[in-house]
């Protein structure tokens, strides 16, 4: 984007006086102006990743997104534009300068994306601080490679002028996903579009993802997350809820080339439940006769709506516990108990005894007594995911669920329960107040301190801009999902990197800029690969590499 620059009245007067005494013809000859473009608020970085990070190599890379919700008009791209596009899996957002988010008056918006080869992605965000940079991860489920603990079914059926015969669609049991689900469409059902109009098509394609509760990779992938913002219950608006799920179904149908959003008569949906599922209302294993609320989510707006209550029964075909419900429209369907937030805050104090100064990026999550995911580390008023942890970090969870017992758990690898390195004892999140967690991390590689200076240089004027943006660092030959992400505030950022390792360095400011180089105890260059370039110098006294990086801008 073309950056806008402003000279104060006093500066303009000073230039005129200088010209008068020195008889200059161009006041700016030989002068390089440094300006601050930090005119936008609340930088929010959203990173889209493949929910299956163990076997798939397909990335949700470049696509457009929709920003909806009550405060969508306050959201812009990180450079001030309104063309909301994801590049290389990253979506840098910010708020307009007139936005004034606070805990009492948060800014709320929803991000919705349809990604080729992936199920639709939808998430609502709450911003309560006008300066704090916040990073989030959204997990996109690839149809061809869904994560462990989920199952996928793609089925094609014949329609007659948009009217079905008897159709049965069943998701398989596969791997850790031992539950199946079945959709029954009775003969004579007319397919309807989003406006309720009949669709006259000859074919129906149905894509169903059944999310189970037996694995963390499945739970992390649930569309919309577990802390809904826009909720209606029997027509009444609810606020500050936490979901405790029994399963989730993402159902997408296309008749011809038109999305199916409704039916002339309801379809029937049945879903088996995990054998280890605990009823959070009784803290006992789920029994036949227990009830679970059923919710739908409008993916484009992020709105949740209570639809009905299902009663658990024993399937006569599989012998597993199951529920069933009717659906007159298509959306995401959630089998969920719900808890109100208790109005308390929880302060988390992090202790990392050694090594000194180590600042790893780990996942810190809140789970229930049975280890089921409730949400990630709060870096604002929205669940985050991966956070930079360090000795002495104090962070606050401003809203906690009234669930009785919970604990904080830390993982070195996102979504991998085998990488757990720390956890607290069980506590009541509504009465605890403050919780301490001590992390004894694996021995890190030899590290070097890095100070980044990132500037945009105008190609048509002698102007250097101090940008506020994000920098992403990816170590060469590492796993594709392992990125270090740091916010750059007014052109500067500090972090630690592996000494001697080669990193790709990527940043966004109206475009994507890339370089690569080694952060080592020597002076080195970062040649431009896509506009970003610079040099690095090493200070042995402070064990710090200072990297000065620039990228080109066209200014007006």
Model confidence at 11, pLDDT cuts 50, 70, 90, reads: very low
Write out the CATH class of domain 447-553: mainly beta
The enclosing H or E element of 17 equals helix 9-22
Q: What is the pLDDT of residue 479?
A: 62
Backbone angles phi, psi at 445, to 5 degrees: -70, 170
Per-residue pLDDT tens digits for 440-463: 887 777 888 899 999 888 876 777
Read off φ and ψ for residue 8, nearest 5 degrees: -70, 160
* pLDDT of 318 strictly over 50: yes
Tell me, what's the pLDDT at 43? Answer: 83
Nearest to residue 96, comparing CAs of 113, 84, 79? 79
pLDDT tier, 1 (very low <50, low <70, confident <90, very high otherwise): very low
Number of Cβ within 10 Å of residue 477's Cβ equals: 7
Give the burial class of 364: count Cβ atoms within 10 A of its Cβ; 0-12 exposed, 13-18 middle, 19 or more buried.
Answer: buried
CATH code 2.60.220 region(s) in the chain: 150-340
Q: Tell me which fold the domain 150-340 belongs to.
A: Chondroitinase Ac; Chain A, domain 3 (2.60.220)
353-384, pLDDT tens digit by residue? 877 767 777 778 888 887 777 766 543 333 34
Pair 545, 450: CB distance under 8 Å: yes
* Between 305 and 369, the higher pLDDT residue: 305
pLDDT tens readout for residues 107-132:
889 999 999 999 999 888 888 777 66
C-alpha count within 13 angstroms, C-beta hemisphere, residue 125: 32
Taking 50 as the threshold, does the pLDDT of residue 265 lie above it?
yes
Rounded distance between C-alpha atoms, residue 375 and residue 400, angstroms: 10
Mean pLDDT across the chain: 82
CATH number of 41-137: 2.60.40
Residue 225 has pLDDT above 70, yes or no: yes
Residue range 84-91: average pLDDT? 87
For the stretch 166-224, pLDDT in tens is 999 999 999 889 999 999 999 999 999 999 999 999 999 999 999 998 887 787 787 77
User: With bands split at pLDDT 50, 70 and 90, how would you rate the model's confidence at 387?
Assistant: low
- Rounded distance, CA 448 to CA 203, Å? 59
Q: Is residue 3 scored above 60 in pLDDT?
A: no
257 pLDDT more than 60:
yes
- The answer to whether residue 309 scores a pLDDT higher than 50 is yes
Handedness of CA 72, 74, 75, 79 (dihedral sign): positive
The number of beta carbons lying within 10 Å of the beta carbon of residue 99 is 19
The bridge status of strand 361-368 relative to strand 386-388 is: antiparallel
Q: How far apart are CA 309 and CA 295, in angstroms?
A: 9
For residue 14, count other CB atoms closer than 10 A to its CB. Answer: 13
Whole-angstrom CA distances from 439 to 356, 358, 427 are 13, 11, 18
pLDDT band at 415 (very low <50, low <70, confident <90, very high): low
Q: Is the pLDDT of residue 314 over 90?
A: yes
- Mean local confidence (pLDDT), 309-322: 94
Using the predicted structure, report yes or no on whether residue 396 has a pLDDT greater than 50.
yes
Give dist(CA 529, CA 512) in Å, integer. Answer: 11
pLDDT of residue 211: 92
Residue 146: Cβ-neighbour burial (10 angstroms; 0-12, 13-18, 19+) = buried
**Torsion angle of C-alpha atoms 382, 383, 387, 389, degrees rounded to 10:** 90
CATH 2.60.40 fits 346-438, yes or no: yes
* Contact assessment for residue 116 and residue 547, using Cβ atoms and an 8 Å cutoff: no
pTM of the model: 0.78
CA distance 78 to 86: 12
Q: What is the pLDDT at residue 555? A: 66
Model confidence at 156: pLDDT above 80 = yes
For residue 147, pLDDT over 80 is answered with yes
- Please report, to the nearest 10 degrees, the dihedral formed by the alpha carbons of residues 452, 453, 456, 461 taken in order: -160
Residues of the chain with CATH 2.60.40: 41-137, 346-438, 447-553
Q: Give the position of tokens 């009492």.
A: 104
**Cβ–Cβ under 8 Å, residues 168 and 184:** yes
Give exposure, 49-76, as e/b (b: 16+ Cβ within 10 Å).
bbbbbeeeeebbeebebbbbbebbebbb
Q: What one-character DSSP code corresponds to residue 189?
A: P
Q: How far apart are CA 238 and CA 220, in angstroms?
A: 23
Share of the chain above pLDDT 70, in %: 86
Res 378: pLDDT: 43
| The most confident of 266-270, 489-493, 542-546, by mean pLDDT | 266-270
Residue 8 has pLDDT above 50, yes or no: no
pLDDT in tens, 59-80: 888 899 999 988 999 999 887 8
Res 261 pLDDT > 50: yes
């Amino acid at each position: 984007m073309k950056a806008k620059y402003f000279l104060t009245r006093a500066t303009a007067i000073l230039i005129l006086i200088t010209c008068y005494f020195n008889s200059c013809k161009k006041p700016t000859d030989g002068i390089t102006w440094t300006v601050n473009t930090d005119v936008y608020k609340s930088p929010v970085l959203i990173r889209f990743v493949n929910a299956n990070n163990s076997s798939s190599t397909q990335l949700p890379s470049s696509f457009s997104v929709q920003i909806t919700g009550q405060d969508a008009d306050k959201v812009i791209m990180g450079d001030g534009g309104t063309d909301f596009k994801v590049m290389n899996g990253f979506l840098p957002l910010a708020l307009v300068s007139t936005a004034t988010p606070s805990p009492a008056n948060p800014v709320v918006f929803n991000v919705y994306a349809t990604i080729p080869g992936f199920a639709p992605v939808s998430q609502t965000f709450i911003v309560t601080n006008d300066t704090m940079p916040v990073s989030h991860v959204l997990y996109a489920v690839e149809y061809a490679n869904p994560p462990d603990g989920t199952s996928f079914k793609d089925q094609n059926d014949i329609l007659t002028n948009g009217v079905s015969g008897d159709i049965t669609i069943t998701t398989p049991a596969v791997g850790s996903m031992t539950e199946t689900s079945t959709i029954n469409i009775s003969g004579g059902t007319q397919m309807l579009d989003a406006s309720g109009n009949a669709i006259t098509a000859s074919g129906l394609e149905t894509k169903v993802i059944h999310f189970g509760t037996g694995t963390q990779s499945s739970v992390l992938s649930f569309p919309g997350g577990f802390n809904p913002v826009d909720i209606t219950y029997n027509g009444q608006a609810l606020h500050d809820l936490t979901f405790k799920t029994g399963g989730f179904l993402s159902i997408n149908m296309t008749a011809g080339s038109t999305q199916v959003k409704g039916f002339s008569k309801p379809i029937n949906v049945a879903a088996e439940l995990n054998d280890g599922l605990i009823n959070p209302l009784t803290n006992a294993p789920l029994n036949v006769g227990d009830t679970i609320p059923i919710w739908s989510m409008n993916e484009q707006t992020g709105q949740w709506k209570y639809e009905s209550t299902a009663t658990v029964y024993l399937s006569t075909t599989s012998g597993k516990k199951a529920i069933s419900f009717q659906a007159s429209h298509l959306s995401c369907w959630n089998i969920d108990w719900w808890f109100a937030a208790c109005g308390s805050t929880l302060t988390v104090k992090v202790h990392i005894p050694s090594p000194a100064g180590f600042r790893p990026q780990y996942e810190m999550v809140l789970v229930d007594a049975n280890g089921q995911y409730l949400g990630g580390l709060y870096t604002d008023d929205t669940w985050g995911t991966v956070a930079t942890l360090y000795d002495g970090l104090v962070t606050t969870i401003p809203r906690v669920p009234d669930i009785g017992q919970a604990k904080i758990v830390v993982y070195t690898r996102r979504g991998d329960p085998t990488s757990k390195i720390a956890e607290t004892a069980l506590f009541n999140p509504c009465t605890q107040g403050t919780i301490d967690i001590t992390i004894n991390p694996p021995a890190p590689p030899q590290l070097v301190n890095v100070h980044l200076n990132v500037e945009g240089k105008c190609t048509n004027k002698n102007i250097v801009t101090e940008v506020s943006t994000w920098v992403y660092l990816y170590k060469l030959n590492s796993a594709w999902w392992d990125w270090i992400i740091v916010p750059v505030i007014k052109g500067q950022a500090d972090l630690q990197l592996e000494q001697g390792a080669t990193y790709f360095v990527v940043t966004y400011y109206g475009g994507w800029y890339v370089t690569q180089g080694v952060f080592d105890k020597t002076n080195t260059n970062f040649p431009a690969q896509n506009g970003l370039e610079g040099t690095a110098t090493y200070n042995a006294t402070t064990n710090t590499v200072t990297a000065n990086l620039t990228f080109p801008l066209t200014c007006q």
